[in-house]
Structure 1
C-alpha cells in the first residue's frame, strides 16, 4: 500500500490568496511512517485526451489560459501550475490502478471536480477522477460500474457533466445548496444542504444517499473526501465538527467494505481558517481508510 503526493511541486500565488498549498506537504508529513508516500507521476497526455476535449488541451499546452479563463479558474495560470495539475491527475490515475490491484488507492491531492471536458473552473484544470475512469476503461480493460461519492462541500459540477449520459457511472454529490457553483449541474443524485448543517443532519442525509447508491451495484468507488465541510472553513458554509467528519469517512468506508469493491480516495477541498485543522482532518481521512480497508 502506498500514497501519492504533489508536495514536491509548487507554484506562485498572489499575497493573501486563499488556495491552501500548505496542506499537501502537511498531510504527507502527517502520514510519514504510516505508509510509503511517493511523488505523484505526471499523467500521460494520452489519458487527458481520452477524457477532455482536444481543443481545450491543445490550447492549454500551447497558449495557456487567458486572463478571463484564469479568473474562472481562480488561480493565475503558469507553467508551474500546469505541471502540478498534471502530477495531481497522475496521482489519481496511479491510485486508481492501485485500487484495482490491491483494493485501495490513495492520492494526497486531486478531487478537482470543477473541471469540465472543455474548460477549467474552480481551482480545477483537469478532472482527475474523470481522467482516471476513462483510462481504466481504455487501457486497463475495466468494464464495471463506477460510483463517485463526492462529499466536498461544493457540488461536483464538472464530474456531473462528464458522466451525465453514462449509464455505467453514478455520480453522488452531497453539498451546500447555496454554495459555489451558483449554477448546479445534474448529478445522478444531488443532495443539497442548507448553510450551517451540523453533524447529525449531515450524517442522516449521507446515510440515505448511500442507501440509494448501493442499488447501483458499483464495481469501483471514487471518494472525494473534501474537508471543507468543517465548521470554520473559508468557503464551505457547513458546520461539521472534526468528529463529524470522522464519522462521515467511517460511514463511507463501511459502505465500501460492505460492497466488497475497490476504493480510490482523493483529497478534495479544505480551506479552514485554522490550517492545522485542515491538515489534521485530511490526514485522519487517510488513516481511517487504511485502518478500515487496507
Structure 2
C-alpha cells in the first residue's frame, strides 16, 4: 500500500539485530517444526479460544471457486473517497472484468463474513481497536482528512466495515488455499498495519490475522510471505519479528514510504529496488529472490501480497513495470508454489491507477489459461 507524504529515508539494518519484541499471540517455533502450536499460558488460551470460536472459517460448497469477493469491499461515501489516490472501486471492477470476459461467474465467487471484534483481537489490542472508534484516527490512517468531520457511525459503516469484510476474506483464503491448492481474495493485503498501528490506507492487519488463524486451524507452522507490493510490508514484519515460523521475502522500492528502519530488521530476504526500476531488471531480481527463498525455507503455505503499484505510471510506487511484467510476475510466484505443491493465497494490495483493475483481471485470466488456477473447476488446480 502507501503513504501520501513520505518522510526522509533512513539507513538499513539486519534482521539479526532484533531487539524489539512486538505483539505476536502465538509462541515462536522453529521453522522446521510442523506440529500445531500449543497454548503456554492464559493469554495463549484466550487467543486460541477466539480463533476456535470464530465463524470466519466455513465450509464452501464445491460449486464455488476459491475467488473471494463481496460487493461490500468497495468504498464510497459522498465522493470523499475520490480525495485519496487509491481506487476504492478497484475490487468490484476486477470482478466485472473477469465476468465480462467469461472467466468467472459471480455465483461461483465466495462471499466472506465480516471479521468481528473478537476475531480482530487475535492480533490487535483493545486499545488499538478502541482508537478506530475515532473518526479522526481513521482519517489519519486512510489519509482522507475530511473523514474526521463525519459522524463515527458513518465512518464505521462506509470505511471500516468494507475493510473488516476484506479481512474476513483474507482469513478464509488460507482455508480455501489449503483445501483447493490456491485462493485469491479480490481485496486485502493491508501490509502497513500491525497489531498496534495502522497507516498507509491499512486499518487492520489482515496478513497477520490470516496467518495466526492458519497456525491454529490448519495445523501448519511454516508460512512464507512473498510481498511484491511496491512498498515495504512493515506491518507484518513487525508482527512476526520474533516468530521464526514465518519467512518474509519483501521486494520493494526503498526510496518511498514507509522507510521503517525497525521493520527492515525483520525481513528474512530483502530486495530493495530503486525508483524507476524497469521490467526486465525487476523480473530478473524476482527470479533470483525466488531461488534463494526456495533454498532457504520450506513453507506449508504461501501468502502472496500482489500489489499492482509497481506499474509504470503509478504515482506512489514509482517503478516502471509494464502490465505484461505484472502478469509474468504473478505467474512466476504461482509456479514457485505449484512446483513445490504449496498452497498459495493471493491478496491484491496496493495499486493507485484506474488501470490496475484491468491489469489484475488480465493476470488472473493468464493464470487460468496457464492452468495455474482453474476458474472453471471447483476443485482448483488441474
Indicate the residue corresponding to 2:140 in structure 1. 71
User: What RMSD over aligned residues (CA atoms) do the two structures have, in Å?
Assistant: 1.8
Instruction: Provide, for residues 201-244 of structure 1, a one-character-per-residue CA deviation record: whole Å limited to 9, x for no partner.
Output: 10111111111211201110011111111101121100011111
Rounded Cα–Cα distance in structure 1 between residues aligned with 2:335 and 2:329: 10
Instruction: Give the superposition deviation at 1:73.
Output: 3.4
- 2:301 is aligned to 220
Distance 1:141 1:261 in 2: 13
**2:372 alignment counterpart:** 292
Match of 1:30 in 2: 97
Unaligned segments of structure 2, at least 5 residues: 1-64, 149-154, 374-380
Structure of greater Rg: 2
Task: Work out which of the residue numbers 183, 186, 193 in structure 2 matches 1:115.
Answer: 193
Out of 50, 53, 66, the residue aligned to residue 122 of structure 2 is 50
So what's the TM-score if we normalise by structure 2?
0.71
Alignment counterpart, residue 166 of structure 1, candidates 243, 259, 266:
243
In the aligned structure 1, how far is the partner of 2:249 from the partner of 2:183? 19
Residues 5-53 of structure 1 deviation map (CA, whole Å, 9 limit, x = unaligned): 2433433225532120121111011122424223332124333111122
Q: CA, structure 1 residues 15+152, in 2 after alignment: closer, same or farther (shift >3 Å)?
A: closer
CA contact (8 A) 1:23 1:279 kept: yes
Partner SS state of residue 50, structure 1:
coil
SS of the residue aligned with 2:122?
A: helix
User: What is the count of residue pairs matched by the alignment?
Assistant: 287
SS at match of 2:184: strand
For the pair 1:207 / 2:258, whether they are aligned, the reply is: no
Tell me, which stretches of 5 or more residues in structure 1 are unaligned? none
Which of the pair has the greater relative contact order for Cα pairs under 8 Å at 6+ separation?
2
TM-score by length of 1: 0.91
Please say if residues 47 and 132 of structure 1, whose CA atoms lie closer than 8 Å, have aligned partners that are also in contact: no
Give the Cα–Cα distance (whole angstroms) in 2 for the partners of residues 86 and 64 of structure 1. Answer: 16
SS of the residue 1:118 aligns to: coil
Q: Which residue pairs with 2:88 in the alignment? A: 21
- 1:167-206 map, 5 Å: 167-184=244-261, 185-186=263-264, 187-206=267-286
Cα separation, 2, equivalents of 1:152 and 1:15: 22
